[in-house]
Amino acid sequence: MIYLSEVYDSKALILGISTYEADVFPKLEYVIKMLIHKESKYKETSHRISNIQLGSLVTKKITELLRNSKFRVIDVILIKGKVGDEDISRISKALHKMLT
């Protein structure tokens, strides 16, 4: 379990979000909106976010939410079905890019 207060000291944030009836799971959407609200109010530095396992409609919605925030989207990785070796390779490359 992670607490919202721990996010503000972090250098990066990785979101793994599943779809829920072709939308963002409602509780996760609330958490993302809360992060954006709190981050905009208290933090001056930008963060890097990698969204993993998003459907295309959900990806658009999350990107739109983050567009006017201080968060910066580094990579979006779409995974359909079971995670395979190619997916793991793409995730590894995204993590490397995010940490450099």
* CA atoms lying within 13 Å on the CB side of residue 15: 30
What would the mean pLDDT of 43-57 be, rounded to a whole number? 56
Whether the model pTM is above 0.85? no
What is the DSSP code string of 32-81?
Answer: HHHHHHHHHHH--S-EEEEEES--HHHHHHHHHHHHTSSEEEEEEE---S
21 three-state secondary structure: coil
CATH of domain 4-99: 3.40.50.360
Q: If pLDDT is split at 50, 70 and 90, which confidence band does 55 have?
A: low
Judge whether 38 and 8 are in contact, CB under 8 Å.
Answer: yes
pLDDT (tens digit, 9 = 90+) per residue, 2-19?
677 777 777 777 777 777
Residue 39 and residue 99: Cα distance in Å, rounded? Answer: 20
What is the share, in percent, of the chain residues with pLDDT greater than 90?
A: 2
